Structure 1
């Protein structure tokens, strides 16, 4: 059982499931108790092992599913929403998420078509559509299974600076367009989702806006990290890895990592790597065979960031976009 965090009449009960999940060491969600109200922040992964662990942790803390009064989601990714349907099928309770998350959580046909069209066009534009076929096929499969994947209950939309009891909603795009964090000013607690982790940095995953245009995700991520520094925080509850307290130090490490990745990319461009695939290979070598989707996302995002920072320029050529110093 994890340490319980207490501040006057409030408690946080971490549910930290240790597993190898990509580069991450755990999948986390949290029970936030304020007076008699019990809130679940994020809902883990929908696999039997996590479900069993979740219910065992509830019992260890003296709770059961029927005690949960509401669910808050930091963003729409599968490792944060996994048990929502399992919980609300047993116990009808409110579910809250950022307004941009709703079409993603409902897997609306309009959103899925827009997403697939966006990535088909993007990969073609950057000259990497052949190696991205697996990602596109996965999207098609997701569309076929959307009825099973979507959240079955009603989701209430949240906006930036909304308040839910003592929790302030703060929009922090970058990892995803719909990422939010929850801040308890009185307790100085910050629930950050995947924005900040104790070790390493999160992925600023490429995505599109409501018009189907590529978002400046690395710039958004940087701005969201800097926004965290404006809040007085004692304890950070992250979506992965451990709970931690030294937020300013961790933020500075994350910002330094962004600059490192920017400098690394511009150096590789200077060395004559002009295309997304050349840059991916030059930076990550054989890792691209196992992590192609994430690596393409990072390289596309950082070329856009480098262009905005005046470090590279892009030229449209027959084989796709090329980048030069």
Structure 2
């Protein structure tokens, strides 16, 4: 297996694609985005392995985001490769117009309820236009999670890890006496993957993501190969670090409500992250919303219209804490 680093049009740092070309099949995990420069990089890296795009037999996708799936349609058109992705993400990857329109409508409704200013909404939709229906979309073969793919004698076991995206999946495999995993954007070495904004279709995104992280920590993988940047040598520690990060963020969300009173997600986001630009306009209030929604379901905060407030019992509990960290109860 070879890791290929590709530039992207997002902010998380270079994308990773992974290629298996050491046997009768050529298989890719993720493809990078749809930019011509990305395709040129991918072709050049494959050429170092004496492989062309037309040689690709299968593409396994970790999730639907365009920086991971952008070239899948072009590669399939050139090679006839089959494209596999979780059933929850398959309609978006295949360019199903009804699925995209439903997601856009959910975004419009949520952005308004979050308190996002109309000018910011318009700029954000312009920014996200790279994910529209103008590119080449592949025919996809959906999977559900729990399957095993066999690639040149190597078993890749599918583990569904919803949260960042509805259909996000890991591919775990054994290497001698080690178990490693392709983690997509479920586990990254630097940034904490966004929840709430990255896929507005996900119900209870923070709870789902924390459970995915708990499962990663329990699996005790020996190494993770992420969707961005360098391999993670201690995936359990990194998963636990991100869980701790969200406990600290929950405390900060509650502290904003304690200090400012009733707030909508946009106001909480501004207090947490300041003025936002570019794709962060989606991710900031989305993450604030994910936390507020979770805290509401846990009866920690109350929702009044589009605003959230902390009841007296929560205020007393918050005041009594000795550390800036809130148990998420997951």
How far apart are residue 292 of structure 1 and its match? 1.6
1:149 and 2:135 matched: yes
Could you tell me which runs of 5 or more consecutive residues in structure 1 were left unpaired when the two chains were aligned: 1-11
Measured at CA, do residues 293 and 85 of structure 1 come closer, stay the same or move farther in structure 2, by a change above 3 Å? Answer: same
1:195 and 2:201 matched: no
CA distance in structure 2 between the aligned counterparts of 1:163 and 1:290, rounded to whole angstroms: 35
Could you tell me which runs of 5 or more consecutive residues in structure 2 were left unpaired when the two chains were aligned: 312-330
Q: Contact between 1:38 and 1:68, CA under 8 Å: does it hold in 2? A: yes
How far apart are residue 101 of structure 1 and its match? 1.1
- Tell me how many residue pairs correspond in the alignment: 303
How far apart are residue 120 of structure 1 and its match? 2.5
Q: Contact between 1:19 and 1:27, CA under 8 Å: does it hold in 2? A: yes
More displaced, 107-116 or 70-79? 107-116
1:245 and 2:233 matched: yes
Measured at CA, do residues 199 and 139 of structure 1 come closer, stay the same or move farther in structure 2, by a change above 3 Å? Answer: closer
Measured at CA, do residues 65 and 117 of structure 1 come closer, stay the same or move farther in structure 2, by a change above 3 Å? Answer: closer
SS of equivalent residue, structure 2 residue 244: helix
CA distance in structure 1 between the aligned counterparts of 2:75 and 2:243, rounded to whole angstroms: 37
More displaced, 239-248 or 277-286? 277-286
Q: Which residue of 2 aligns with 1:4?
A: none
Measured at CA, do residues 306 and 85 of structure 1 come closer, stay the same or move farther in structure 2, by a change above 3 Å? Answer: same
SS of equivalent residue, structure 1 residue 270: helix
CA distance in structure 2 between the aligned counterparts of 1:74 and 1:140, rounded to whole angstroms: 20
Measured at CA, do residues 17 and 142 of structure 1 come closer, stay the same or move farther in structure 2, by a change above 3 Å? Answer: closer
Measured at CA, do residues 57 and 133 of structure 1 come closer, stay the same or move farther in structure 2, by a change above 3 Å? Answer: same
TM-score when normalising by structure 1 = 0.85
2:2 aligned to 13, 34, 43, which one? Answer: 13
1:236 aligned to 219, 224, 230, which one? Answer: 224
How far apart are residue 149 of structure 1 and its match? 2.6
1:185 and 2:171 matched: no
Q: Which residue of 2 aligns with 1:302?
A: 291
CA distance in structure 1 between the aligned counterparts of 2:119 and 2:309, rounded to whole angstroms: 19
